[in-house]
Structure 1
Amino acid sequence: MIDGACVRLLARYNRWQNQNIVGTAATLAEAERRRDRGAFFGSIHGTLSHLVWADGMWTSRLVPDAPRPPGGVAESATLYPDWDDLVARRAVLDERLVAFADAIDDGWLTGDLVWFSGAAGRELRQPRWRTILHVFNHQTHHRGQVHAMLTQAGARPGDTDLMLMPE
């Protein structure tokens, strides 16, 4: 099981790496960001759109009054077609996740989260600590895909090692 300090570290790492990846993607022409590169969500833009949708969905389950994004996984890659809007939503979500992490106490993590999963088509229940790990692991998984696509496009994202994260 993880504790609140771990969640706070993961939230800050998540924000740092989203700034890294989105900032690097912003250096590409729009056509390069939208070019289908054979990833699960097609392009850099599509994968980043999916991540904004997914973090919005998880945040709506974890944070009181956080808005739930429209659509489902199938629409997630095309849900945020405007680059500037996607970038702005990403920044808001990252700050919301950091604020959420800052407010967590260890006791909260021991309870369960119950939600209806559209992907599974049923209600799910998991320990909150495990759900939090999933949220950040999902980000890392897809950011890795984007990192590879950025490299294919000739861009050079910054450091990704946790030990190099600025304080």
Structure 2
Amino acid sequence: MITPAWCQTMARYNAWQNQWMFQAADALSPGERRRDRGAFFGGIEGTLSHLLWGDMLWIARFDGGPGPLKVNTSQATAEAYDWPALIAERPKLDARIASWAWSIGQDDLEGDLSWISGSTGAEMTCSRALCVMQIFNHQTHHRGQVHAMLTAAGCATEPTDLPYMPGEIPEWR
């Protein structure tokens, strides 16, 4: 279903999108970043905090490294990181995701993954490939929300389509 090369492309895409998105958000005042814009996690900062939290949760399941700081509640994920921490942690996490993507083989994408859900306390088991798709789909979903909020706030935004990603995407020649 998915391959290590797909994971590598998506890791590159993740880092590319986060770089410009955080630069655009950083140009806003703290009040504008935190302003409730009707998204599930309120505003831009809350959504980006949730996204960092979710990425840390999933990559920890994949690479066995450290997970997020707080438990799974809507409020905690939106407030888990203040803006300076978000700015500092995002590129480190993107590098961690990329390192994982470049270290895996096809066998690492097969079989099941099990974990204890922080929100329900129940043991969960899911296809490893589906879990890997989840991290990248979750990123794209919430960055789409942030893109819309940045646009509404008057920020200049960048393209979000994969063919515009800097560097070559060999599959799309």
* TM-score category of the 2 structures, normalised to the smaller one: over 0.9
Amino acid of the structure 1 residue aligned with 2:7: V
Please say which of residues 98-107 and 68-77 is displaced more in the overlay: 68-77
Instruction: Answer whether contact 2:25 2:150 (CA < 8 A) is retained.
Output: yes
Alignment of 1:49-68 (within 5 A): 49-68=49-68
Secondary structure at 1:77 match in 2: helix
Separation in 2, partners of 1:95, 1:20: 15
Per the TM alignment, residue 122 of structure 1 is displaced from its structure 2 partner at its CA by 1.0
Secondary structure at 1:2 match in 2: coil
The answer to whether structure 1 residue 89 and structure 2 residue 86 are counterparts is no
Please say which of residues 19-28 and 67-76 is displaced more in the overlay: 67-76
The answer to whether structure 1 residue 124 and structure 2 residue 139 are counterparts is no
Alignment of 1:130-141 (within 5 A): 130-141=130-141
Alignment of 1:28-43 (within 5 A): 28-43=28-43
Instruction: Answer whether contact 2:49 2:79 (CA < 8 A) is retained.
Output: yes
Per the TM alignment, residue 73 of structure 1 is displaced from its structure 2 partner at its CA by 3.1
Partner of 1:146: 146
Secondary structure at 1:92 match in 2: helix
Q: What is the TM-score when the length of structure 1 is the normalising length?
A: 0.95
The answer to whether structure 1 residue 79 and structure 2 residue 115 are counterparts is no
**Which runs of 5 or more structure 2 residues have no equivalent in the other structure?**
168-173
Alpha carbon RMSD of aligned pairs, Å?
1.2
Percent identity between matched residues is 48
Partner of 1:17: 17
Closer/same/farther in 2, CA of residues 69 and 60 from structure 1, 3 Å limit: farther
Secondary structure at 2:116 match in 1: strand
Partner of 2:171: none
Secondary structure at 1:154 match in 2: coil
Partner of 1:115: 115
Instruction: Answer whether contact 1:50 1:77 (CA < 8 A) is retained.
Output: yes
Separation in 1, partners of 2:135, 2:127: 13
Amino acid of the structure 2 residue aligned with 1:52: L
Partner of 2:170: none
Per the TM alignment, residue 153 of structure 1 is displaced from its structure 2 partner at its CA by 0.5
Please say which of residues 55-64 and 136-145 is displaced more in the overlay: 55-64
Per the TM alignment, residue 70 of structure 1 is displaced from its structure 2 partner at its CA by 2.0
